[in-house]
């Protein structure tokens, strides 16, 4: 069984502040993918990043950065210098690689981020 926990239900920060969204996961699989998706008010989930379990390098993409720590089963997402357009619900997700060809993408409950202008 696998589980993704996003303990922060809602976060509000003032524009230009940095904000970190937490994601903790549980899985018995030794190899897996982790994802972050953004869901703006329009509804579709927008893919942000995929990280495989054997690559613990942190990643930075513009104002976004991700901190993957296998030892603590966490995959946190930081937005630097937040902007109003960052307001959305953010989902962390997990899928095992061992269950080849039949991925079970498990999502967290999401964190609603509001950037206050």
Partner 1 sequence: ETGVTQTPRHLVMGMTNKKSLKCEQHLGHNAMYWYKQSAKKPLELMFVYSLEERVENNSVPSRFSPECPNSSHLFLHLHTLQPEDSALYLCASSLRSGPGQPLNTEAFFGQGTRLTVV
Per CB under 8 A, does 42 bind partner 1? yes
User: Which of the ranges 20-28, 57-65, 66-74, 107-115 carries the binding residues for partner 1, by CB under 8 A?
Assistant: 107-115
Q: Determine contact, residues 97/86, Cβ cutoff 8 Å.
A: no
Per CB under 8 A, does 35 bind partner 1? yes
Q: What's the chain's Rg over C-alpha atoms?
A: 14
| Residue in this structure with the two tokens 């991925």, named with its chain if needed | 103
Task: State phi, psi for 85 to the nearest 5 degrees.
Answer: -70, -10
Per CB under 8 A, does 105 bind partner 1? yes
- Residues in contact with partner 1 by CB under 8 A are 4, 33, 35, 37, 42-47, 50, 91, 97, 100-110
């Amino acid at each position: 069984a696998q589980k993704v926990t996003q303990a922060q239900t809602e976060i509000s920060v003032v524009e230009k502040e940095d904000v970190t969204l937490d994601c903790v996961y549980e899985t018995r699989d030794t190899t897996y993918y982790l994802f972050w998706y953004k869901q703006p008010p329009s509804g579709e989930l927008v893919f942000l990043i995929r990280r495989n379990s054997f690559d613990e390098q942190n990643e930075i993409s513009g104002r976004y950065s991700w901190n993957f720590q296998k030892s603590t089963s966490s995959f946190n997402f930081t937005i630097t210098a937040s902007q109003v357009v960052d307001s959305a619900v953010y989902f962390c997700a997990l899928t095992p690689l061992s269950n080849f060809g039949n991925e079970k993408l498990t999502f967290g409950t999401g964190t609603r981020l509001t950037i206050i202008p």
